[in-house]
Amino acid sequence: MPGPRDLDPSSSPRALLGAELRHAREKAGLSQDELGQQLFVSPSFVSQLEAGMRRMQPDHARLLDMALGTEDFFSRNCTAAAKSRYPEHFAEAAEAEAEATEIREYAPLLIPGLLQTAEYARAVCRAYQPTAPSKVIDDLVAARVERAGILDDLTNLLLWVVLDEAALRRTTGGPAVMAAALRHIAGLVRGSRVIAQVLPFRAGAHAAMQGAIKLMEFVEAPPLVYYEGVGTGRLEDAPATVRHQRRTYEFLAAAALSPENSLVMLESMAQDYEDEEHP
């Protein structure tokens, strides 16, 4: 019988590769735990590979071909499945984000990407890469705006964000850009598309002072937490780590303003920015 065909990069290659992996694993009579032992990874990592949420590295592909008797199928196709329009360190997180049913996020210094307007995103991307050609910045902004499309289907996603007051008061792109950015978030809240809380300065010390938190939950895969730094990022699936970060987020939300008071603050700050732009 002929072996599996190469994947078409235009047809969600990571999802197709994951489906092929599940088929090959079941055909070989292996559980996710048993296959994970041969890859030196957790069963949840195998589950996320099969769901198309994790990037298959060349070393994993080589071990899969050996364990599943698929000749060089995964080795040949893992490169195509790894292609992404997002920066290397964020590609896996973006893929997972698109499949999540619940996202809880706290970003201490900027508005989270899913809530950014195009002009706010442009100011952020330009600050990250001040000497990049305009085409590079345009592509990054387009990708970021496209990500927010997942908010259009409210039946599949709960997005709950805690916005630090520091991020709201940092005038990114100028007063007009900030006014539009905060009006955009307020509109999403009023449209029941997102739950947003503001963590005010007066809250003082809080549980997430060391950095950002992004928690993602799924229907058929274990939850993930994403850690991000300057030009770096990684996904973690260890249950103890996820539980710890979920508890941290709960403490954080408890210290923040209520959604109702947060909306009042967002709209008030937006008005302040508009008055600054047009005194």
- Residue 155 belongs to what H/E stretch? none
Average pLDDT over residues 251-274: 97
- Residue identified by tokens 């055909």 is 27
* Class of domain 13-81 (CATH, top level): mainly alpha
DSSP characters over 69-95 = T-TTHHHHHHHHHT--SS-TTTHHHHH
Looking at residue 12, its pLDDT comes to 62
Q: CB count, 10 Å around CB of 192?
A: 8
Distance separating alpha carbons of residues 161 and 256, to the nearest angstrom? 11
Three-state DSSP state, 52: coil
Domain ranges of the chain: 13-81, 91-277
The tokens describing 50, both together, are 């099969």
Contact 127, 137 (CB under 8 A): no
Average pLDDT of the chain to the nearest whole number: 87
Residue 154 reports pLDDT greater than 90 = no
Pairing of strands 232-236, 224-229: antiparallel
CA 198 to chain centre: 20
Q: Answer whether residue 1 shows pLDDT above 60.
A: no
Is residue 9 over pLDDT 50?
Answer: no
> Is the predicted pLDDT of residue 2 greater than 50, yes or no?
no
**Averaged over 35-63, what is the pLDDT?**
83
Query: Residues 74-126: pLDDT tens digits?
Result: 888 877 655 666 766 777 788 888 888 999 999 899 999 999 999 999 999 99
- Answer yes or no: is pLDDT of 251 > 60: yes
Q: What is the DSSP string of 216-262?
A: EE-SSS--EEEEEETTEEEEE--HHHHHHHHHHHHHHHHHSPPHHHH
Work out the average pLDDT over 168-172.
96
**Rounded to an integer, what distance in angstroms lies between the CA atom of residue 266 and that of residue 268?**
5
Q: Strand runs (DSSP E) across the chain, as ranges?
A: 102-107, 158-164, 195-199, 213-217, 224-229, 232-236
Residue 207 CB-half CA count within 13 A: 16
pLDDT at 6 over 60: no
Mean pLDDT, range 147-176, rounded to an integer: 90
Nearest partner of 186 among 273, 110, 101, 259, judged by Cα: 259
Exposure string (b/e) for 51-63, b if CB count within 10 Å is 16 or more? Answer: bbbbbbeeebbeb
Q: Rounded to the nearest 5 degrees, what angle is found at the Cα of 118, between the Cα atoms of 113 and 120?
A: 70
pLDDT at 83: 62
Residue with tokens 């403490």: 251
For the chain, what percent of residues have pLDDT higher than 70?
Answer: 91
The top-level CATH class assigned to 91-277 is alpha beta
- Give the whole-number percent of the chain exceeding pLDDT 90: 52
